[in-house]
Amino acid sequence: MNLNSSEFSLDDFAIVILSFDGYSDLWEYFFKFFNMYWPDCPYKLYLVTNNKDVDFNNVIVIKTGDEISWSNRTRIALSKISAKYVLLLLEDYFIGKEVSNHDFNKIVAKILLNKYRYYRLNRNPPPRGRIDKSINAYEINENEEYGINLQPALWNKDFLINLLGNGNYSAWEFEINQLKKTYVLSKKHMEGCYVDNSNVFIIYNGVLKGKWIPGTLKYYRNQGIVIDPGNRAVLKASEEWNHIVRTYIRNHIPYWARKVIKKLMTQIGVKFVTKY
């Protein structure tokens, strides 16, 4: 099973960086780290923008016009890509470790051969389904919270387009919409949906709520690269720790317990973005 066989083609797969002009200050760093850690990437690379002209080596730019919504931008971009499968990335998902073509190609070949619909490369949140040792991946259950999310993942393009539907909404709302579905579904495996267990793709999230994440700035500074925040603010240490704690609670405390905690904290004045 390999990508050199006549059964597969490099054109079956593409990498799509979903962005918009308001985050153009991140593009330089995204591609700097991409080329540093994956210099021999063999796949077509697409950058989705609104109207800005950019010139990055070996990058195909897709312009989607004036901003309407994240979902509209994504639908337009996917309609212009012929590949059957895409690795979907956001512009602040910075690669932080060397990517092995040998290891990554094995995953792509596995997905193409088995016609998987969704294959997440990042174990965030931690997988809750059983591990299928034959493919070194965890099954995603239908009722698994954030089982399908916008962490780096390989998508069957038609499956993603179907999930997007026709509405206009943000990336955050897309994840919440998927989360809502889990509370009325069963524990059975969601067909063709998995979380990889091999850590072939390590990313560091650069921005949270529009601000640089201090831990990410520190990581790349330790690699000898200083990121200039420019006009974009940097999270306060307290904001970063708040995010870390919330993520830990979401990943390790059952939903029923979180509901109780949120109810109690709401009574003392703490505000939450969503009830989920």
CATH number of the CATH domain containing 57: 3.90.550
Query: 216 and 248: one domain?
Result: no
CA pair distance 48, 18, nearest whole angstrom: 5
On whether residue 88 sits in a domain, the answer given is: yes
Q: Which residues pair with 118 in a beta bridge?
A: 155, 193
Query: 36 and 106: one domain?
Result: yes
Range of the domain at 269: 236-275
What per-residue confidence (pLDDT) applies to 6? 47
Query: 153 and 241: one domain?
Result: no
> Does the pTM of the predicted model rise above 0.85?
yes
Number of domains, the chain: 2
Radius of gyration of the chain (CA): 19
Residue carrying the six token digits 């212009």:
80
On whether residue 4 sits in a domain, the answer given is: no
Query: 143 and 252: one domain?
Result: no
Query: 240 and 146: one domain?
Result: no
Burial of 213 (0-12, 13-18, 19+ CB in 10 A): buried
- For residue range 221-230, list pLDDT tens digits in order: 999 999 999 9
**Crossing angle for the helix pair 171-182 and 70-79, to the nearest 10 degrees:** 90
Residue carrying the six token digits 């709302």:
173
Query: 125 and 48: one domain?
Result: yes
Q: Across the chain, what does the average pLDDT equal?
A: 88
- Min mean pLDDT across 59-63, 200-204, 237-241 is at 237-241
- For residue range 182-213, list pLDDT tens digits in order: 877 677 888 999 999 888 999 999 999 999 99
On whether residue 173 sits in a domain, the answer given is: yes
- 64 has pLDDT over 50: yes
What per-residue confidence (pLDDT) applies to 13? 94
